[in-house]
Every structure is written in structure tokens, then in C-alpha cells.
Amino acid sequence: MKQPSPAPSIRDWIVVGSGFGGSVAALRLAEKNYSVTVLEQGKRYRDEDFAESAWRLRKVLWAPKAGLMGIMALTPFRHVSVLSGVGVGGGSLVYGNTLYVPHSDDFYRHTQWADLADWRTVLAPHYATAQKMLGVTTFDGDGPSEQMMRAIAADLGVADTYHSTEVGVYLGTPGVRVADPYFDGAGPARSGCTRCGQCMLGCRVGAKNTLEKNYLHFAEQRGVQIEPERTVVDVRPVGAADGSDGYVVTTERSGSWLRRDRRIYRTRGIVFAAGALGTNLLLRKCRDNGSLPRLSERIGELVRTNSEAIVAVTAKDRTVDLRADLAITSSVHPDEHTHFTNNTYGLRGDAMSLNFGPLTAGRGRRLQFAVAILSAPLRWLNPLRARGWSQRSVVFTVMQSLDSSLSLRPRRPGGRMETHIADGSAPSSYLPIANRIAELAAKHVSGYAQTSVLESLINTPTTAHILGGAVIADSAEHGVVDRHRRVFGYRNFLITDGSTVPANVGVNPSLTIVAMAEEAITHIRTNEEQTP
């Protein structure tokens, strides 16, 4: 077998992943005068390259071995199914633009990290930086979807908790391209949001504040190299066992079967930021194959799902239009631990209908599912069922900050990762409040409520906000990274993505991942060797 040849130069830092945690690390390390390379397994998309509709599976779904190089991966496990973003910009390509600062002490004062810092105070300035960098603003519309949300809030007795979403979108004159409106002209030109609502398919307009419009844009201006379609398959120290002499990083061309185009990189420091799922899988692989034997045995523990449930409603009247201007436009807090949002897909998201079936609850969900389909076969088995679904449907993401977790471990060393029930409460695939929300929505739009098919058939929740598995702790006996996100057992080795988040956030976690990454890199000293 032909051996890969090493890269011609040694980088100061290699960042694995280009999402919310990786993009922050890349820019801030470059600002500290380090040379940085970012390795991203997904493709690089220009605005015009994103899918025109959800049926364009090659651009929507990530299954590289099958030739699908899209921006959304679906990874099913026994106890949870995970949706995650892939591509240069990571989750920012596919997420619903929603950028919230957590409000609950369930997060800030969780026992896993409460003794390490006053996190509400420590993270506050970094949340402010993240909001500025991501161009956070408040959504300004009020259409049928928002009015329905307001009515549901009133039905639940919490009308005063309804509020418009904080979003990362340029809400300028629709379709009009202007010079950078965020960074005194130093950023890329932008186009005003056209209110098409197709944010989660990838923004073809250029209004969505993806990471390529801010962090990655400025990182490349400072010399950061971004290499897409490179999957990291191994990381190991060079020389000293603790990595103090640097690391060798081995990659392959993403999706390759035979011609893997294996390449080796040398670096003085390494940052894992491949998303909570990707980082956990890579850490476990490197520990089990002996490349990084000093890693904590706690890899894959305290995996969080943000305690989510996903339900939907569809109006029976095919002329009803429930689309919102953006993917997510409003929020309601039924209690201090629970938060839900409306999600819509614009006119071209009809393929998403295949993810939803009859509303089910509690035990015996498969039987409920079958009975509901047999009771209304024309509704559920009609080949034209998907037509117009995204126009007259709203999906609700229900999140909770209550404590629950899973473990992610291989069945055998080097084997496929599987979920396991850990100590404490496991994430539930059925949240009564989620079903209540869907039923109330159905009443208001004269429609029918729905549950994720996976939740009904295999009794697993679906989450787009997987967190944890390499969490912050006071020692390797309790976690994988220390208070500064440095990996226990190694030097010059950081993790800056959602895998280090120690508790359910209870709101969309993107802004938290950015703020925590910002805080982590402040503890890296400036490279004096390259300072002018």
C-alpha cells in the first residue's frame, strides 16, 4: 500500500472542524499570530450552490459513501437520532439562525462545572462578542405562524412569555446587495433577506450570517488555510507521549472508497471541533487504536440531547399558508425549564413531510401509529401527501434544561459507537408538553398533529442539538477537558465544540458554543515568535 507523504510544513495549530467552535478557534488563534489549518470533512458551498428544494438530496443530505455531499447528516442510534450540519461553516449552514443566551441556572450552575467558575459572569462578555460577530438581531415580523404561537402561549397560560426570536440574519432591503453592514466594510458584501423561509436548506440569498460571513471570512484574511472534504482518521503525538512535541494528523478524502488520497499533516497543537458527535467518535477511535491512550475514560459520558422532542401540525385546508419569513421566528416558555419554537421550511421543504407521521404518546406508540394510519389511509398513504406540506405546516422544537443524559460507547474497542442508558435520567422520546403544543396548534389551524416517525416507530427522540460527551470537569476521572477546554493528559490539545458543554442548555445552543469557544481561546498566549 502506498504510504502518504507528509505535508511540507508544520502548522502551529490544526483545527478539526469548521463549525461554531472550530471557526472561533481558527480566527482567534490566527489573531494571536499562529499559523492555522482547518480540516473540514464536508464540502464548501457558495450561496448559489445550496439546494433549491429539500428533494435535492445530493445537496441536502450527508452520506458521502453514497455520493450525497449535502449539509445535513442524520445519524440514528438506539436511544436518539441526531441531526447535524456538515460543510465549511458546519451547523451554521443548516441551522435556523436562532441565537439565544441561556437564562436558566439549570445550565450555569450544573454540578458538573459549577465549582470551576461563576459561569454566568465569566461567559457574559463572550456572549456579547458572539452576538456582535454573528450579527444578532430580533426578528421583526408577525404572520400566521407567529399568531398561532401567540395563541398557543395564551392557551397554556403563559402569554407573557411569547417573544420574537433573536436571529443571525441580515434583515436589510430584500434582495438588495450592499457593502458589509457589520464590520465597517471589512466583511463580505451582503444581500437583504427575501423572507423565503428556506434558511434550513442553506441560504441562497446570502442573508444568513453563516460562519463564512464572519469568523471564517476574517480567519482566511489572516492566512488560515481551510481544506474541505478532508476526513480526519487519526491523530497521534510526535516524540513526547503528551503531545508537547506536536502531533501527526492523518486525513482521507471524504467519501472515498478506493482512492483515499491519504495525507499527513504535522502540527504543534490540535483543536478538536468536529461537533459533539464527530469529536466523540474521533476521540474514541484514537483512544481505542492506541494513538491517544492518555485520553480520559470518560469519553462519551454525559451526552445531552437538550431534552428535545419534535412535533408538527399541518392544516387540512390546502390553501392555508403557515410559512414564516425565517425558519424560526418566535419562542414561548411554558415553564422555567421548557422552551419551544416554531420551525418552517418555506415553499420547497415538502420532503421534510416524510419525517412525520400520526401523533403518538406514551407506551405502545407503534400500535398507535399503525391504528392512526389505518383509520385515515387517505391522509397518510396518499402519494401526493407531501405536495404543499411545507406551506401549510409548522414544526415545533421543544427543548428542556432538565437534567438527562446518555452514554456513547463502542460495543467493542474500535467498533461502531452505540448509545447506552447512563446513571440518572435518560432523555425521553415522549414529552407530554410537546404533544399538548401540537394538539393546541391543530385546534388553531384546523389541522392534524404529528410526531417524528422515528420517535413513534423506534421510540427514540430526535435532536438537532447534541451536546456533551467530552465535558468540562475538575479531573480526568470526571470529564475529558479542564476548565480551559484543555484535554486531560495532553499538551496543546483543545476541544472547543458542543462536546464540552456539560449540561442541557434549554435553548438553541449555537451561541453558547461560540461564547464558550471564545472564552477558551483567551487562555492561549500570543505567539511571541511571530509577533512583529
Question: Which pLDDT score, from 0 to 100, does residue 216 have?
Answer: 98
3-state SS assignment for residue 235: strand
Residue 307 pairs with which residues in a beta bridge? none
DSSP β-ladder status, 447-452 and 356-358? antiparallel
* Domains of the chain, earliest start first: 9-530 (3.50.50.60)
Q: Dihedral of CA 210/211/212/217: which sign?
A: positive
Q: Torsion angle, CA of 112/516/419/63, rounded to 10 degrees?
A: 180
H or E element at residue 398: strand 393-400
Interior angle at CA 79, CA 434 and CA 298, nearest 5 = 120
Which residues are identified as catalytic? 465
H or E element at residue 302: strand 301-304
Q: Which three cell numbers stand for residue 165?
A: 426570536
Using the CB atoms, write b or e for 15-37: b if 16+ within 10 Å.
bbbbbbbbbbbbbbbbebbbbbb
- Among 364, 492, 391, 491, residue whose Cα is nearest residue 445: 391
Using the CB atoms, write b or e for 100-137: b if 16+ within 10 Å.
bbbbbebbbebebbeeeeebeeebeebbeebbebbbbb
Name every residue whose Cβ is closer than 8 Å to that of residue 207 and which is 6 or more positions away in sequence: 169, 170, 171, 172, 190, 191, 192, 193, 194
Distances (CA, A) of 84 to 6, 60, 74, 287, 445: 31, 12, 7, 24, 30
Q: How far apart are CA 84 and CA 278, in angstroms?
A: 10
DSSP 423-467: SSPPPPS--HHHHHHHHHHHHHHTEEEEEEHHHHHS---EES--E
Across the chain, how many H-helices and E-strands are there? Answer: 12, 27
Question: Which pLDDT score, from 0 to 100, does residue 156 have?
Answer: 97
Question: Which pLDDT score, from 0 to 100, does residue 243 have?
Answer: 97
Question: Which pLDDT score, from 0 to 100, does residue 1 have?
Answer: 44
Beta strands in 208-262 (DSSP E): 225-227, 230-237, 247-253
Task: Tell me how far the alpha carbon of residue 65 is from its chain's centroid.
Answer: 22
pLDDT in tens, the chain (532 residues): 455 554 457 999 999 999 999 999 999 999 999 999 999 999 999 999 999 988 898 999 999 989 999 999 999 888 888 989 999 999 999 999 999 999 889 899 999 999 999 999 999 999 999 999 999 999 998 999 999 999 999 999 999 999 999 999 999 999 999 999 999 999 999 999 999 999 999 999 999 999 999 999 999 999 999 999 999 999 999 999 999 999 999 999 998 888 889 999 999 999 999 999 999 999 999 999 999 999 999 999 999 988 888 999 999 999 999 999 999 999 999 998 899 999 998 888 898 898 999 999 988 999 999 999 999 998 999 888 899 999 999 999 998 888 888 899 887 776 788 888 876 677 777 899 999 999 999 999 999 999 999 888 888 888 889 999 999 999 999 999 999 999 999 999 999 999 999 999 989 999 999 999 999 999 999 987 655 5
3-class SS letters over 2-21: CCCCEEEEEEEEEEECCCHH
Q: Dihedral of CA 501/507/510/512: which sign?
A: negative
H or E element at residue 190: strand 190-191
Question: Which pLDDT score, from 0 to 100, does residue 403 have?
Answer: 84
Residue 163 pairs with which residues in a beta bridge? 331
Q: How far apart are CA 416 and CA 408, in angstroms?
A: 10
Instruction: Report the amino acid identity of residue 112.
Output: Q
Q: How far apart are CA 256 and CA 32, in angstroms?
A: 35
DSSP classification of residue 525: P
Name every residue whose Cβ is closer than 8 Å to that of residue 113 and which is 6 or more positions away in sequence: 119, 471, 472, 473, 483, 502, 503
Instruction: Report the amino acid identity of residue 229.
Output: E
